[in-house]
């Protein structure tokens, strides 16, 4: 996720302080990975330097001065271009799990055990996500669906790999 673009998009509704941006980000997108304040302010500094935001006002506070940021026309254009650009699908061609299976075969360890352990972990995570989805709002349901679909694809791969372990062992130990 582009944090800079996300913060710019949040600014389109009106000027905000860094604290307000962090809170809005965490509410909408950061359920599992909230932003750190330093990350917000370093991102805002970069966006300011690049002309995508401007300081809309400065207010004294109990500590440092509080800057209120506003998006510029260049920032709006940048967000629009980012939104219109499709994300590159991630093919997962460098899978750590595949590496573990092959290394287990190469070192005469039980690759089926690795697959079984991973299957159990995937199913555990799917139960957690399903429970969260059931209790969540629409946004949380959609995020959980996305993760669940990826986990389901992983499970299919685990089953396929388990069925082909003999052939894979022959191929990698030649």
The pLDDT of residue 93 is above 70:
no
- Show Cβ contacts of residue 46 under 8 Å, excluding neighbours closer than 6 positions: 4
3-state secondary structure of 117: helix
3-state secondary structure of 85: coil
The tokens describing 160, both together, are 């396929």
The pLDDT of residue 1 is above 70:
no
Alpha carbons 122 and 113: distance in angstroms, whole number: 14
pLDDT of 124-159, one tens digit each? 999 999 999 999 999 999 999 999 999 999 999 999
pTM of the model: 0.73
Q: Which residues pair with 57 in a beta bridge?
A: 68
The tokens describing 64, both together, are 């440092």
């Amino acid at each position: 996720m582009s944090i800079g673009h996300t913060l710019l998009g949040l600014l389109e509704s009106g000027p905000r302080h860094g604290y307000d941006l962090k809170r809005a980000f965490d509410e909408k997108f950061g359920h599992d990975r909230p932003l750190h304040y330093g990350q917000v302010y370093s991102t805002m500094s970069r966006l300011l330097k690049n002309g995508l935001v401007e300081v809309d006002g400065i207010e004294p506070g109990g500590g440092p001065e509080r800057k209120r940021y506003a998006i510029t026309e260049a920032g709006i254009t940048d967000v629009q271009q980012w939104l219109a650009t499709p994300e590159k699908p991630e093919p997962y061609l460098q899978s750590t799990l595949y590496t573990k299976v092959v290394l287990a075969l190469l070192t005469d360890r039980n690759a089926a055990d690795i697959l079984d352990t991973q299957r159990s972990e995937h199913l555990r995570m799917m139960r957690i996500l399903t429970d969260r989805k059931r209790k969540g709002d629409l946004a949380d349901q959609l995020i959980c669906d996305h993760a669940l679909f990826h986990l389901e694809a992983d499970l299919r791969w685990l089953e396929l790999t388990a069925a082909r372990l003999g052939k894979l062992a022959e191929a990698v130990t030649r």
